[in-house]
């Protein structure tokens, strides 16, 4: 029975995957080539130590739905929060900017800002200019920018505290992070599922380095930062998705140097 269910899910996901990608909705050539190769490979013998059809399903129709609806709403909601939080006339460095959509929208909402991006993985279709860096040392002098943004980036790094210290070093006025709280029912499973759906197809590392609220506080302190403003209810999802994926799993923290108060 389990084998039958597994093969059924795999077959459905492949059909969905094929229909969506063949009709070009992903608009990403690399992804479509990968999709085609994936479609053509033989159906594997299902091993029950792992449950591969779930991964396939995540990267098919669910990935399409995520890209088409969830990500667009996320960009709009987060860019409005950020536009509201960032100090006037600032130079902003978006560390781990990904596809750059968020920064591009932020720049539209706040023309007084000057936004640039760096990332370990430069996407060919990025909406802003992105400079590649090693993911450890931000290639900017101390106090070299007014504001550092890190939106859903720190849980992708091997040592979040080190990257936060780097952000504190190069920023003159503000460090703003959007990240996850490891708290509540099945938080790790929920977050890692969201991470996989949103990132696997872009080749982003997913170490699932989620922190509890207490661990975040320790990381701020170790970086010489303190919370200037905290937002916990962001409105990233509409009901009923917010019952599962929003809860108290997301936050935006606007941080400043501890000596500033």
Site residues (vs ligand SAM, CB under 6 A): 95-98, 102, 119-121, 135, 151-153, 156-157, 163, 198-199, 204-205
Nearer to ligand SAM, 21 or 103 (CB): 103
C-beta of 159 vs 227, nearer to ligand SAM? 159
Maximum distance among all Cα pairs of the chain, rounded to whole angstroms: 63
C-beta of 190 vs 199, nearer to ligand SAM: 199
- Supply the minimum distance, in Å, between the C-beta of residue 95 and ligand SAM: 5
Least separation, in Å, of the C-beta of 254 and ligand SAM? Answer: 16
CA 21 – CA 57 distance, rounded (Å):
14
Strands 130-132 and 114-119, sheet pairing: parallel
Task: Output 150-153 pairs: Cβ under 8 A, ≥24 positions apart.
Answer: 150/95, 150/96, 150/175, 150/176, 150/177, 150/178, 150/179, 151/78, 151/82, 151/94, 151/96, 151/102, 151/177, 151/178, 152/96, 152/178, 152/179, 152/180, 153/95, 153/96, 153/177, 153/179
Q: Which is nearer to ligand SAM, 18 or 80 (CB)?
A: 80
The nearer residue to ligand SAM, 60 or 96, going by C-beta atoms, is 96
> Which residues sit opposite 117 in a β-bridge?
94, 130
Task: Look at residues 121, 176, 183 and name the one whose alpha carbon lies nearest to residue 150.
Answer: 176
Closest approach, Cβ 22 to ligand SAM, in A, equals 27
How many angstroms separate the Cα of 137 from the Cα of each of 99, 118, 141, 204? 21, 11, 10, 18
What residue is closest to ligand SAM based on CB? 98
Report the nearest approach of ligand SAM to the CB of residue 251 (Å). 14
Closest distance of CB 11 from ligand SAM, Å: 30
> Minimum Å distance from CB 126 to ligand SAM?
9
Question: Residue 66 or 156: which CB sits closer to ligand SAM?
Answer: 156
């Amino acid at each position: 029975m389990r084998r039958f269910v597994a093969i059924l899910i795999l077959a459905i996901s492949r059909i969905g995957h094929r229909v969506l990608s063949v009709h070009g909705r992903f608009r990403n050539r690399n992804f479509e080539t990968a999709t085609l190769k994936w479609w053509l490979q033989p159906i594997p013998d299902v091993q029950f130590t792992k449950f591969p059809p779930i991964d396939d399903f995540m990267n098919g129709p669910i990935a399409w739905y995520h890209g088409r609806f969830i990500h667009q709403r996320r960009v709009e909601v987060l860019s409005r929060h950020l536009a509201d939080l960032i100090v006037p006339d600032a130079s902003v460095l978006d560390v781990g900017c990904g596809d750059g959509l968020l920064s591009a929208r932020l720049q539209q909402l706040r023309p007084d800002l000057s936004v640039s991006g760096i990332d370990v993985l430069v996407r060919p279709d990025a909406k802003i200019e992105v400079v590649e860096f090693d993911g450890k040392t931000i290639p900017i002098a101390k106090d070299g920018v007014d504001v550092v943004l890190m939106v859903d980036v720190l849980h992708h790094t091997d040592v979040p505290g080190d990257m936060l210290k780097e952000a504190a070093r190069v920023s003159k006025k503000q460090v703003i992070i959007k990240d996850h709280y490891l708290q509540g029912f099945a938080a790790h499973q929920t977050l890692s599922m969201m991470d996989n759906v949103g990132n696997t197809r872009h080749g982003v590392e997913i170490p699932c380095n989620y922190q509890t609220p207490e661990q975040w506080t320790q990381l701020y302190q170790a970086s010489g930062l303190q919370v200037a403003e905290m937002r916990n209810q962001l409105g990233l999802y509409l009901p009923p998705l917010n019952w599962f994926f929003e809860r108290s799993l997301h936050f935006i923290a606007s941080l400043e140097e501890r000596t500033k108060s």
